[in-house]
Structure 1
């Protein structure tokens, strides 16, 4: 068994070294992890001498360490190691195959796991009980024809999910990423409001009977209004809207503007204030698990998931809740309106599409569902045919992908640019940060040298062994994730953020005095605190938008920044205020700290660069020169082309899907080795 496990781990390592973790790699990872746990338990409980057991456990622990180190590269792999991770049917089947290859009897096939017991903390608001009592015989919607059943197809034996995802990676320059849409309609727009033509096209498609949309317009093109009016056109009520916490209040406000004759209720906490008779229910991801039960029985005829990239990790609780509710909606309503809204559908790699497609009912865990399978069959092609990939991509797009760029549909929105402002970190803080960075590099060099010296294979690599560099960087990243102190990539970025705080705040204050309102973004609380102290000392009025505020306080601060001409700066948390907010009253942003992803940075900038903006938008990115901060800025920029290639038909090269933290450590170690004799492997 040890030989089978060791071989599987080597194959997983090799696959990750080549790039992102595919579905096949994740399946092999989960099957291997399950077998490792079982094998370890057998050794501990089995017969034999303690010395023999210790030797067996040592070998298994060595394999487990390699597996865990590999998982650091991909958060989805880490999630598979959790005790409550869902074991996929593919992983169970592969596990049985691995047992057979080791000459062992896999025994009877394991039954699928029982559905989890309903959590004790689930609640049913009083007003919802009143609604149920008022209408106890809620009938399924039989007013529309059920979706087509999959007919017998020659593609039934093909693995199709991988090729479908690959078809988007292979998209060439100019490839269209938007379904055909009808001419815009203003029929459902309330008096005094006006839709832009691109918004009206989506509403017209819903009115014509289309019911699934991946609305992936670039941020700032008015997806909220499109979703609300599409629901009106489809009569998709009751409608559930699942959103990040920070935009719950905003969705209620938008509903009052675009569908004023519909009642909207926002779920807070245990739902004491919920209106059980409302047409639109808005709930945030963080508390959805408490309300899944009654929402599943609410008779929903539509469901909107805002910032849908939040569900990309299918092992996460938020993703499982959303997918369970979407299945429940489809079981009740023949053709519900299902909309996934995100300006950044791809964060790390093309696999981010999986959960969104499953929510929309286009695929399940293993295969395309009826509509997509039948469309693929009608192409007359298989994945062995070169023409399959563009045809398959179009089949998916026709199911409801809608992607428009500002440059194409909103010429009246001014341009945006990112301007980097390098700053020198002088004084004790700057010297301390540079010393800590050198210490981090020295530690990794020492680890590299130890690993090189401990090699038993006798393999000789000329110059720097880049595979070993990456392995050392993974070890360092794993240690950093578990460390509570010391010099590591996370503590370094936090210290750099604190050191830049006053410089960034000073610059924001200068812009506010000369050009008007400014949005100031930071990641860490202490950076926001330092910036607000600086603004107070300089007499600059500010509004604070943070994740720990109640929705009413947050909205009050947003309104103050938007409506009060004397409030010059909005000090925003990059994570709490980077999505869903409309801050187009400002055309200048200061990014005091760097995000770890290009998508998060884009989301923050597009709080101002959106419909309603009348000025060119500039994001001033404060970069600590001659530190790891500058390297991370380069890595973020290198990854910015992922969505452009997959959805916008761009030839722009996509940066590595590997995590920016890892790549920063790889770069730091490589630079250090190039300046030391350790760079000459022997």
Structure 2
């Protein structure tokens, strides 16, 4: 009775199984089909129907094993016999997969269950005398995703920001794009039945010429707003303007991949454009969009997206929060997608990769000729297996084979993987789909010998709140002193801001010994910012080390260096530490480790202890994790890399905390650098020192506080 009741309760979610003898039920049916699969593979006939049978047998075998183990009312001897027979089926599946390892992909977590597989499952269950509900269950086991758009847990975490809902209400119907349905590619003929993915990968592993498609000569290097592109950047934008729509942009760091992607989207009219990035560069993308494509507003997604502009043309989201936004992004009518640091999606089984691939497939299904760009500085000849996920994102391949234009290009070669010459021709066919790779040394004439590039980062959470609170306390103290000074002067406050008095108050704050001993002064605030940036700066340096080789990491404070070194240790990146307090022999040993050992990827340097007197030109990229108070100190650090013996242009990546005093300090350093240059060129101005920047930073804080108070009173 209990067993019958148990069956009744499960009738809605499970096929109902009738009483059966040893030769009845699902096991004999599975045994028969698995023998057919084994025979077909042994004779080299692993057709699509054979692959479907292999997948369905494996899944039903898992279901039956789970059912048998859970059936406590069945005698133990009977359960043991059934499990033994299921083990026999599993053994045949394993030996068959050993003959054709591509079958293993059908059992992965990201494998797709086709309609044919669902139909075969129903047929086998009915052949076994098992009643199948009208609406079949999801297939059980690790493989159970019916379409690439379904991700376990995504619906529970999914959100729809209010501004996005407003956009959907404003334009609830997307215009149909019939050109998607009209576009067809010929079915493979010569290459039907060949396994092609591995030969394509081996074509790149074998080396050869630099992987870069032919790019058209640009008609102009000038863009909207009067900004000037470097010639190599303009070439890619010209290719997009000419109609090319998929790019694996693998330029070395420092060659302006962000600007190229944004301008390619503009000439392709690929809006709305989704940009998926690591958290550390999210703010930088918004900054670059404002510079290069000011007519197309960008919005940055934080958390649940409560602050985003739902009507923006460019949506910037980081990998970590993409899962909760996949739902509304699928329905937004995206016409373009950029994936920055695309090696983040190398593991196709990871959740972040699945979300990216789902969105890409959705865009390609709805839009003819969408713009799809994968950006990474990692050379193609390293970890080439990782690039299959990128090729799939771009629509060049699916889970098992080339598709679309790539397949047509391979057919046009007229060869098979067994023919001599196929490898080189196949490599060229892949490159022509949109691989663009330039090195600094190749475009050195386009680049300044030395440049400083700001990387804005957003400091979230408790660290961000702490910094903003410290800045507010400092501003309130300055404001209170200003108001006391006004009272002593018997000045009517409504007469406007006394800028001379503002500077006097700021100068007194800078000179105050009590303030200097407090954490709530300008030095303390900047130290807090440096500590909060440490992990983000180290993450950025780690990305550079992976994609560009050796990197020099500069910081002012020991705790920032310590935090960076902990990050490198966790990520398995070897580093050499050059800091104060080291003996000369230890210091020299660490310098030689960085310059001589190819496995030591990062030199973690003190800005004061290593800013002069050492040669680190083995690297051409450096990260300035904390800001200097003068351009001279910053320049001295850069000159550890930019010196005689350096073969490549040098890029100093300056990490700047957005929406904090850090941003103003960076602007002041740059303005004082121009003043110093004019003075050295013979002008009458004095060269600025660190106290100038400190004073101007305090002046900025006080003036902002006064403006905010005036605005609040007016409202």
Aligned-pair distance for 1:312? 1.9
Instruction: Give the distance between the partners of 1:320 and 1:191, measured in 2 at CA.
Output: 38
Q: Is it true that 1:386 corresponds to 2:424 in the alignment? A: no
Say which of 175, 184, 192 aligns to 1:149: 184
Matches within 5 A, 1:377-526: 377-410=411-444
Q: Is the 8 A contact 2:163 2:310 kept in 1?
A: yes
Aligned-pair distance for 1:266? 0.6
Instruction: Give the distance between the partners of 2:103 and 2:349, measured in 1 at CA.
Output: 9
Instruction: Give the distance between the partners of 1:238 and 1:170, measured in 2 at CA.
Output: 36
Say which of 593, 598, 612 aligns to 2:569: 593
Say which of 279, 287, 291 aligns to 1:257: 291
Distance 1:59 1:333, change over 3 A: closer
Distance 1:92 1:168, change over 3 A: farther
Q: Is it true that 1:139 corresponds to 2:139 in the alignment? A: no
Hey, what does 1:645 align to over in structure 2?
none
The Cα offsets for residues 316-357 of structure 1, whole Å up to 9 and x where unpaired, read as 222222122112222332111110111127698433222211
Q: Is it true that 1:180 corresponds to 2:214 in the alignment? A: yes
Matches within 5 A, 1:129-278: 129-141=165-177, 148-155=183-190, 157-172=192-207, 174-187=208-221, 189-191=223-225, 193-278=227-312
Hey, what does 2:163 align to over in structure 1?
127
Aligned-pair distance for 1:30? 8.2
Instruction: Give the distance between the partners of 1:314 and 1:175, measured in 2 at CA.
Output: 28
The Cα offsets for residues 595-624 of structure 1, whole Å up to 9 and x where unpaired, read as 3479xx99986999xxxxx9763799xxxx
Aligned-pair distance for 1:358? 1.5
Q: Is the 8 A contact 1:329 1:336 kept in 2?
A: yes
Distance 1:583 1:92, change over 3 A: closer
| Structure 2 unaligned blocks of 5 or more | 1-26, 39-50, 95-101, 140-144, 471-522, 555-563, 575-597, 606-615, 623-715
Hey, what does 1:375 align to over in structure 2?
409
Instruction: Give the distance between the partners of 2:381 and 2:339, measured in 1 at CA.
Output: 16
Q: Secondary structure at the match of 1:119?
A: helix
The Cα offsets for residues 476-503 of structure 1, whole Å up to 9 and x where unpaired, read as xxxxxxxxxxxxxxxxxxxxxxxxxxxx
Aligned-pair distance for 1:414? 10
Say which of 608, 619, 628 aligns to 1:617: 619
Hey, what does 2:689 align to over in structure 1?
none
Instruction: Give the distance between the partners of 2:457 and 2:292, measured in 1 at CA.
Output: 28
Q: TM-score, normalised by structure 2?
A: 0.51
Q: Is the 8 A contact 2:301 2:307 kept in 1?
A: yes
In our comparison, the structure showing a higher alpha carbon Rg is: 2
Aligned-pair distance for 1:241? 0.5
Say which of 391, 397, 413 aligns to 1:363: 397
Hey, what does 2:506 align to over in structure 1?
none
Q: Is the 8 A contact 1:237 1:279 kept in 2?
A: yes
Comparing both chains, which one has the higher relative contact order based on Cα–Cα distances under 8 Å and sequence gaps of 6 or more?
1
Say which of 57, 61, 65 aligns to 1:40: 65
Aligned-pair distance for 1:391? 1.0
Aligned-pair distance for 1:234? 1.2
Q: Secondary structure at the match of 2:359?
A: helix
Aligned-pair distance for 1:554? 10
Aligned-pair distance for 1:257? 1.3
| Cα root mean square deviation, aligned | 5.8
Moved more, 196-205 or 152-161: 152-161
Q: Is it true that 1:343 corresponds to 2:319 in the alignment? A: no
Instruction: Give the distance between the partners of 1:266 and 1:33, measured in 2 at CA.
Output: 44
Say which of 572, 580, 588 aligns to 2:535: 572
Distance 1:607 1:139, change over 3 A: farther
Hey, what does 1:283 align to over in structure 2?
317
Q: Is it true that 1:50 corresponds to 2:76 in the alignment? A: yes
Distance 1:204 1:234, change over 3 A: same
Instruction: Give the distance between the partners of 2:264 and 2:465, measured in 1 at CA.
Output: 28
Aligned-pair distance for 1:79? 11
Q: Is the 8 A contact 1:414 1:616 kept in 2?
A: no
Instruction: Give the distance between the partners of 1:265 and 1:376, measured in 2 at CA.
Output: 40
Hey, what does 1:636 align to over in structure 2?
none
Q: Is it true that 1:331 corresponds to 2:357 in the alignment? A: no
Q: Is the 8 A contact 2:196 2:401 kept in 1?
A: yes
Instruction: Give the distance between the partners of 2:249 and 2:604, measured in 1 at CA.
Output: 18
Aligned-pair distance for 1:579? 4.0
Q: Is the 8 A contact 1:376 1:395 kept in 2?
A: yes
Q: Is the 8 A contact 1:122 1:291 kept in 2?
A: yes
Instruction: Give the distance between the partners of 2:274 and 2:232, measured in 1 at CA.
Output: 24
Aligned-pair distance for 1:545? 9.3
Say which of 283, 294, 297 aligns to 2:328: 294
Instruction: Give the distance between the partners of 2:289 and 2:362, measured in 1 at CA.
Output: 24
The Cα offsets for residues 412-443 of structure 1, whole Å up to 9 and x where unpaired, read as 87999xxxxxxxxxxxxxxxxxxxxxxxxxxx
Aligned-pair distance for 1:250? 1.2
Q: TM-score, normalised by structure 1?
A: 0.53
Aligned length: 453
Q: Is the 8 A contact 1:160 1:368 kept in 2?
A: no
Instruction: Give the distance between the partners of 1:27 and 1:216, measured in 2 at CA.
Output: 37
Instruction: Give the distance between the partners of 1:146 and 1:223, measured in 2 at CA.
Output: 32
Distance 1:325 1:345, change over 3 A: farther
